[in-house]
């Protein structure tokens, strides 16, 4: 029975998982979002996020235990995200989980947030087959060659803005509410993706790396050329989104074929974008490849994915020392 805490940015989350006879069973998974709080600032304010984590974490742990009909004494293992993320936010969850482990004399595991995203499409199965993982979130855009649990190779990443970050910044340019990703996706449904010819960055010496900074600048210049940009919102959103998705899909398929993978997974906060899901699935089907999508409840920052990663860790390696600290820049895999 394992309890995990996620607090890497502005979501306080707690989950409880166990290894059942037919695979992992997520007994409880709760998220306390701070989106409404940070919306007025147009982005996440670390000090505000940290303070709210500290206020919400204990009630959330208690509620998760009640939902799972468990007592704290029945928890066998504790885990928390140790990085990457905002230092002040990571500290709250990690310190709380380590405190519970210390007080109860139970094992503790510090988990990589990106590994949680990477493995989340397989939570229902409980096993990690070889595949190419595409992680698309607000802070990261990664292509990972996965051979097995713990055997990861980084083959592609963004050299500037992450895809989710680009969505939020373009949303701000268009005066859309924060976060910009869902708003752009909504408007894009009624727009023409070919209305504006936005670029798809091709990096000569790094064919699987991504770059969205130039796209963001191109959108800004286009907005400045228009007399009334608000009259073209749907087309701007559709054209921008099409450029991002085209880059993600094209490079993912090429990387999977080069590495000999038959399965491509999509995870991270941007993985809930339906247009991205559809385009990736259609393109993969044409190439005879399989797509594994992350369940919607596990796409944004959540403790369910951290609990699953910790469950696998508890079966594969010794517990972490309680001296283990946070690492805001923790990497998932080496090139």
pLDDT, one tens digit for every residue, the chain (335 residues): 999 999 999 999 999 999 988 899 999 999 999 888 888 888 899 899 999 999 999 999 999 999 999 999 999 999 999 999 999 999 999 999 999 999 999 999 999 999 999 999 999 999 999 999 999 998 899 999 999 999 999 999 999 999 999 999 999 999 999 999 999 999 999 999 999 999 998 888 899 999 999 999 999 999 999 999 999 999 999 999 999 999 999 999 999 999 999 999 999 999 999 999 999 999 999 999 999 999 999 999 999 999 999 999 999 999 999 999 999 999 997 66
How much is the pLDDT for 335?
66
Enter the tokens of residue 93: 């969850």
User: For residue 257, how many other CB atoms are within 10 A of its CB?
Assistant: 14
DSSP single-letter state for residue 294: P
* Interatomic CA distance for residues 315 and 64, integer angstroms: 23
How much is the pLDDT for 203?
87
How much is the pLDDT for 263?
98
How much is the pLDDT for 204?
83
* Mode of pairing for the β-strands spanning 263-267 and 290-293: parallel
How much is the pLDDT for 138?
87
**pTM reported for the whole predicted model:** 0.95
75: closest CA among 94, 61, 56, 90? 61
Cβ(252)–Cβ(211) below 8 Å:
no
Map out the domains of the chain with their CATH numbers: 2-120+298-316 (3.30.420.40), 130-294 (3.30.420.40)
* Interatomic CA distance for residues 215 and 243, integer angstroms: 8
How much is the pLDDT for 312?
97
142: closest CA among 330, 56, 296, 268? 268
Map tokens 């006879």 to a residue. 21
């Amino acid at each position: 029975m394992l309890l995990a805490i996620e607090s890497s940015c502005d979501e306080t989350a707690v989950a409880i998982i166990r290894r059942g006879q037919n695979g992992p069973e997520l007994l409880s998974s709760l998220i306390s979002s701070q989106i409404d709080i940070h919306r007025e600032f147009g982005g996440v304010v670390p000090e505000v996020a940290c303070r709210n984590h500290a206020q919400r974490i204990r009630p959330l742990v208690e509620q998760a235990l009640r939902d799972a009909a468990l007592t704290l004494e029945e928890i066998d293992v504790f885990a928390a995200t140790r990085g990457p993320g905002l230092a002040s936010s990571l500290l709250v969850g990690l310190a709380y989980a380590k405190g519970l482990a210390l007080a109860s004399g139970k094992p503790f595991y510090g988990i990589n947030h990106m590994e949680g995203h990477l493995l989340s499409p397989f939570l229902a199965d409980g096993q990690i087959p070889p595949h190419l993982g595409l992680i698309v979130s607000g802070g990261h855009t990664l292509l990972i060659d996965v051979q097995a649990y713990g055997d990861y190779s980084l083959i592609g990443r963004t050299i500037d803005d992450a895809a989710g970050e680009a969505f939020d910044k373009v949303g701000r340019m268009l005066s859309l509410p924060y976060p910009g990703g869902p708003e752009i996706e909504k408007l894009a449904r009624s727009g023409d993706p070919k209305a504006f010819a936005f670029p798809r960055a091709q990096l000569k010496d790094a064919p699987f790396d991504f770059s969205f900074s130039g796209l963001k600048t191109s959108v800004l210049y286009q907005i400045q050329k228009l007399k009334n940009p608000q009259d073209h919102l749907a087309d701007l959103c559709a054209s921008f989104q099409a450029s991002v998705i085209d880059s993600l899909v094209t490079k993912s398929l090429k990387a999977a074929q080069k590495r000999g993978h038959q399965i491509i997974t999509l995870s991270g906060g941007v993985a809930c974008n339906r247009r991205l899901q559809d385009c990736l699935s259609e393109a993969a089907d044409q190439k005879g490849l399989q797509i594994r999508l992350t369940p919607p409840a596990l796409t944004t920052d959540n403790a369910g994915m951290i609990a699953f990663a910790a469950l696998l860790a508890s079966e594969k390696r010794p517990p972490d020392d309680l001296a283990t600290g946070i690492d805001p820049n923790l990497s998932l895999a080496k090139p």
